[in-house]
Amino acid sequence: ETVIFPILPSQRQGIEDLRLVNFTDHDGVRSIIGTYTAFDGQAARQELLRGIDLRTVEMRPLTGSMTGYKGMALFPRRIDGRFVMLGRQDSENIWLLRSDDLYTWETGTPIMAPKYPWEFVQLGNCGSPIEIDEGWLVFTHGVGLVRGYCIGACLLDKADPAKVLARTASPLLFPSAEQRGGYVPNVTYSCGGLVHDRRILLPYAIGDEYTAFAVAAVDDILSAMSPA
């Protein structure tokens, strides 16, 4: 088990929302990369850790006009030779970001806006996209009118992830009556899942108090989506 503690001045008041991905570069070299939010007590910024394993990692800040917001999540490989991330650069919509430099992010465009009541306030990702035969499976979090955090999903085109192919009209996971308390009430939230043999394992937090796990077939998740 690896525990990552705040060690830099920018992390003085903590690090949160680590989105890890097993990244394979175009030369075949694999590494573990994670984006997270660092908070020094006054300002939050996006940082990135990278290592061959999680015993020794390098931590560096992300720079560029797209990095002043929380919730950036890296795709597990380059697309058309460029690094690609999801983010929420206007605190409302899901954005697609592209860069030639892993640490500098200057350009992006919104690709998915809130549409349904459970996501009216804001929409974001729940971790790095997962590559499946049909495209990129992305778990999303939506915030509704009473600040309820729910988890849904969408499917992006594999060749051009700026194209949203389908999305869930209703949340897949939401706080039950027994789960609405906690340190941060009325919240279900995840920072990433795994796929194995067409089954998804999704750890998620409840009320910032404890963690649960959801298991589902990829086909069932896709069948719950409607065309975008």
Which residue did the predictor score with more confidence, 56 or 164? 164
Cα separation of 148 and 150, whole Å? 6
Please, which residues have CB within 8 angstroms of residue 159's CB and are 6 or more apart in sequence? 79
Residue 168 has pLDDT above 80, yes or no: yes
The reported pTM is: 0.93
- How sure is the predictor about 177, in pLDDT bands with cuts at 50, 70 and 90? low
Number of other residues whose CB lies within 10 A of the CB of residue 26: 8
What pLDDT does 126 receive?
Answer: 97
What pLDDT does 56 receive?
Answer: 87
Question: For 1-10, 57-66, 81-90, 159-168, which range has the lowest pLDDT when averaged over its residues?
Answer: 1-10
DSSP assignment string, 91-109:
SSSEEEEEESBTTB--EEE
Average pLDDT, the chain: 92
Which residue did the predictor score with more confidence, 133 or 177? 133
Please, which residues have CB within 8 angstroms of residue 43's CB and are 6 or more apart in sequence? none
Residue 110 belongs to what H/E stretch?
strand 107-112
Q: Provide the H-helix boundaries in the chain.
A: 218-223
